[in-house]
Amino acid sequence: SLVYLNGEYLPLSQAKISVLDRGFIFGDGIYEVVPAYNRKPFRLNEHVARLERSLKAIKLETGKTTQDWIQLMTDMVNKAETDDTFVYLQVTRGVAKRDHAYPNPPVAPTIFLMSSPFVRPSEELRTKGFRVVSMPDERWYHCDIKSVSLLGNILAKEYAHAKGVDDVIQFRDGFMTEASSANIWVVKNGTLLAPLKNNLILEGIRYGLMEKLAAQCGIPFVAQNISEEQVAQADELLFTSATKEVLPILEYNGQPVGQGVAGPIYQKLRAAYDLEIE
Ligand code: PDD
């Protein structure tokens, strides 16, 4: 299928950028991952709003309007090979002589979109759940920006794989932040606990969605600092991202979470999530 690069649609193999692109040289750019079901982008307005927040946070001007982004994403979904797809969008500060300072005057940003087939989490995975381990959050203090500088996230994922598990739950100063590329939720006594929305986590598009679904299902929702002990003693742990939707975490640091099977709050939120997709 075709990809979009700087105003053109072309085959992936023909999409080329300069080695001086600041995305390549510095990781100076931001990205989005938008799922689409049956050629309908899911939560598109929210993804575009976050994209614009990220661009603004790093003072990257593109000249594109909200409507332009919506159009680009929608076109990419329509050009995709499969009906269920996810769109990857990346914007970098463009091509310039290597210098940490922003190019002055600014140069044209590099804008890239591609689609990939989206294989939704299988029934088997939903039953088996994820296994995770804890680790210190060693990333920077702007995790709220969806930056392409992802070395910290990659090291976290690799740490999990070295331990033979699926992912990590990171802690900063004793409080839970998030997984390597997903948000984490704690269920205790029927209440859904979320970490505070601040600069230490990426506010997933599923953050607001889970809050809404919890309200729909009559599940109390509380955002607060969550300690290592609260995670270790959770009745349920949940994992959310664009590509994993919502999954139960059934093993934490080698111990079963709750009864070691997907719990009732997960089941309710999972069902409500699926209904959003219809
Ligand atoms: N990751 N936290 C981090 C660090 C993430 O990278 C992501 C998403 C999330 C969840 O956000 P959302 O619900 O909007 O997907 C939380 C994407 C999927 C990725 O990097 O591929």
In ligand 1, which atom is closest to the CA atom of 180?
A: 4
Domain at 32, CATH number: 3.30.470.10
Last residue of one domain, picked from the residues 117, 135, 157: 117
Query: What pTM was computed for the model?
Result: 0.97
Rounded to whole angstroms, the Cα distance separating 109 from 133 reads 38
Condensed to tens digits (0 to 9), the pLDDT of residues 159-175 reads: 999 999 999 999 999 99
- The pLDDT mean for the chain works out to 98
Q: For residue 176, how far is its CA from the centre of ligand 1 (angstroms)?
A: 16
Mutate to test the pocket of ligand 1, among 118, 145, 209, 241 (most ligand atoms within 8 A of CB): 241
Last residue of one domain, picked from the residues 66, 85, 117: 117
Percentage of residues in the chain having pLDDT higher than 90: 99
Q: Hey, which residues are catalytic here?
A: 146
Q: Which residues form the domain of 248? A: 123-277
Query: What pLDDT sits at residue 1?
Result: 81
DSSP structure class, residue 130: E
Assign 88 a pLDDT band (cuts: 50, 70, 90): very high
Condensed to tens digits (0 to 9), the pLDDT of residues 261-273 reads: 999 999 999 999 9
Query: What pLDDT sits at residue 221?
Result: 98
Rounded to whole angstroms, the Cα distance separating 108 from 4 reads 15
- Structural domain tally of the chain? 2
In ligand 1, which atom is closest to the CA atom of 146?
A: 6
